[in-house]
Structure 1
Amino acid sequence: MNLKGKTILITGGASGIGLESAKQFLALGANVIITGRNKEKLDQAKKLYPQLTAIQNDVSNPDDALKLYHIAESLGGIDILYNNAGVSNPTNNLAKANDKITEMAAYEMDINYISVVRLNNLFLKMLQNRPEAAIINTTSILSYVPSNLAPTYSATKAALRFYTASLRNHLEVAKSNIKVFELLPPLVATEMAKGIDAKTITPETLVKALLDGIQKNKFTIRVGDTKVVYFLSRFFPKTAYKLINPVKNSIKLSA
């Protein structure tokens, strides 16, 4: 897929993976729109990269999502929708009673899964009217093997992985021009990873792999340790589970 001249909308684009993506897409000659809830971060991103269009928006809010669609429409439409926004709550110890577990689970599921489905449905017709279009969904290494420290986050990413595969197949059967890419990162050195004692990769490395995959029409883009965990989860599931959930994490849960 040729990215030069394409207009891409990146949710959660004001920091971390989203901002690095904006930077690298711009370098390839794409037009980039970023969204996020934090106006201060959006303003900082705009200062760093004046070519950006920055829109304050909460994609988990149905009214905001519709508003975002109309803004994109007024700007001439988009060619690529990159569903990058995501959240993860601190350790959920399911063995201990916690009144907030249900509330936190609903919050994660809404942003990480429901919001993606909502945006895709809103933008589907617009994307179908472009000569070449794409949807990018970010799942996770944890969509193959869950983390005991992030059970709901893992579940949301597994749900999104299945949805992404189904969406791709539906569009292929319909002979649509929309390509559906899935990015499966390992742990990335962003704010979300702070405090996690595990190996990380940089956002720059992740996004380079993403762009390389898109340009080569590689629809499932596994990066770094995700490749290893994918293989192990298929043939040695117990080994994969221990790799994602080392003994030190079990100690944290029992503390």
Structure 2
Amino acid sequence: MKTTGNTIFISGGSAGIGLAIAKKLNAAGNKVIINGRNAERLQKALTELDQAVAIQGDLSVEEDRVRIANDLKTNHPDVNIIINNAGTAFAYLLSETIGAHEKAAIEMNINYFSIIHFTELLLPHLLLQDGAAVINISSIAVFGSNKMLPTYGASKAALHGYTVALRQTYEDQDNLQVYEVYPPLVNTDFSAEIGGANGIPASEVADELFLALDKNQFDVPVGDSKLFFQQTK
């Protein structure tokens, strides 16, 4: 698909992987709309982007999802790409934690249910655009759980299953493409408590996504995630 001249909404776009993707796509000549919960962080991110727009809100909350979707359709009717990047993860051991089900519920809501709903809210609009895309940021955790992230992997595996089904549903629709990005450990604040300092730079995820868009490569493994794709060939 085209990699310039798009209007792109990026959830969790004020820091980490989301901001790196925003910078990459913005520099390529795309209009970028970033979303996040923290107003101060959003404003700081805007200083690193050219003529970008911010929409504050918490996509884990249904009321905010509806408001943001309506804002996009009303005030940014040319939006043709949504990147579902916002997510959360809890690092803990099942043997040492009471309330794993509560943590899992939060992860599933943010990493899975909210993405389904937000995408559903925007799909009718996207289907009217030329060169539309839904891009879901999943994880290397799709390929196997880690005891330090015991319920996070399940939420990303659920997102993966949804993404595959969404792609199959619209595979005959020429104007809508569905991508999935599989980052490994990335050096961001998000992953700090699980050794993120040893991870790849967020810019590497952005670079791989940009190349994949240019090639219409719908599965986008990054770093160590590429090993899992090589094993299936």
Q: Report the TM range for the smaller structure's normalisation.
A: over 0.9
CA contact (8 A) 2:91 2:194 kept: no
Shift in Å at residue 214 of structure 1? 0.8
**What amino acid is aligned across from residue 20 of structure 2 in structure 1?**
E
In 2, the alpha carbon distance for the partners of 1:222 and 1:183 equals 6
Q: Give 2:73's aligned residue.
A: 73
Give the distance between the partners of 1:121 and 1:132, measured in 2 at CA.
18
Segments of 5+ residues of structure 1 without an aligned counterpart are 236-255
Q: Structure 1 segments of 4 or more deviating over 6 A? A: none
* 2:36 alignment counterpart: 36
Matches within 5 A, 1:1-255: 1-77=1-77, 78-91=79-92, 93-96=93-96, 98=98, 100-173=99-172, 175=173, 177-197=175-195, 199-232=198-231
TM-score for both structures, normalised by structure 1 = 0.86
Query: How well do the aligned residues superpose, as a CA RMSD in angstroms?
Result: 1.6
Structure number with greater Rg is 1
Between the aligned partners of 2:195 and 2:40, the Cα distance in structure 1 is 29
What is the distance in 1 between the residues matched to 2:206 and 2:162? 22
Q: Give how far 1:5 is off.
A: 1.2
Query: Could you report, residue by residue, the CA deviation over 1:111-134 in whole angstroms, capped at 9, with x for unpaired residues?
Result: 000111011100000000001100
Query: Aligned AA for 1:161?
Result: H
Alpha carbons 1:144, 1:230 under 8 Å: kept? no
* Aligned equivalents of 1:208, 1:128: Cα separation in 2: 26
In 2, Cα distance between equivalents of 1:81 and 1:191: 23
Match of residue 239 from structure 1: none
Q: For residues 31-68 of structure 1, what are the alpha-carbon distances to aligned partners after superposition, in whole Å with 9 as ceiling and x for unaligned?
A: 00000101110011122225110111111111111110
Distance 2:123 2:195 in 1: 39
Partner AA of 1:29 in structure 2 = G
Identity over aligned pairs, percent: 37
Separation in 2, partners of 1:168, 1:228:
23
* C-alpha distance in 2 between matches for 1:72 and 1:97: 40
Residue identity matched to 2:49:
Y
How much does 1:96 deviate? 4.1
Aligned to 1:48, what secondary structure does the other structure show?
A: coil
Conserved 8 A contact 2:21-2:206? yes
- Is the contact made by 2:32 and 2:52 (CA closer than 8 Å) also made in structure 1? yes
- Equivalent-residue separation in structure 2 for 1:176 and 1:126 (angstroms): 15
| Distance (Å, rounded) in 2 between the aligned partners of 1:64 and 1:83 | 15
Conserved 8 A contact 1:137-1:164: yes
* Number of aligned positions between the proteins: 231
* 1:171-220 Cα deviation digits (max 9, x unpaired): 114x3521000000111100122133474110111100011001110000
Q: Distance in 2 between matches of 1:148 and 1:192?
A: 18
- Partner Cα distance (2:128, 2:85) in 1: 23
The secondary structure found in structure 2 opposite 1:143 is: helix
Where 2:170 maps in the other structure, the secondary structure is helix
Contact 1:128 1:176 in 2 (8 A): no
Does the residue aligned with 1:41 lie in a helix, a strand or coil? helix
- Which residue identity lines up with residue 37 of structure 1 in the other structure? R
Residue-by-residue CA offset, 1:136-186 (whole Å, 9 max, x unaligned): 00111110111111011100111111110110001114x352100000011
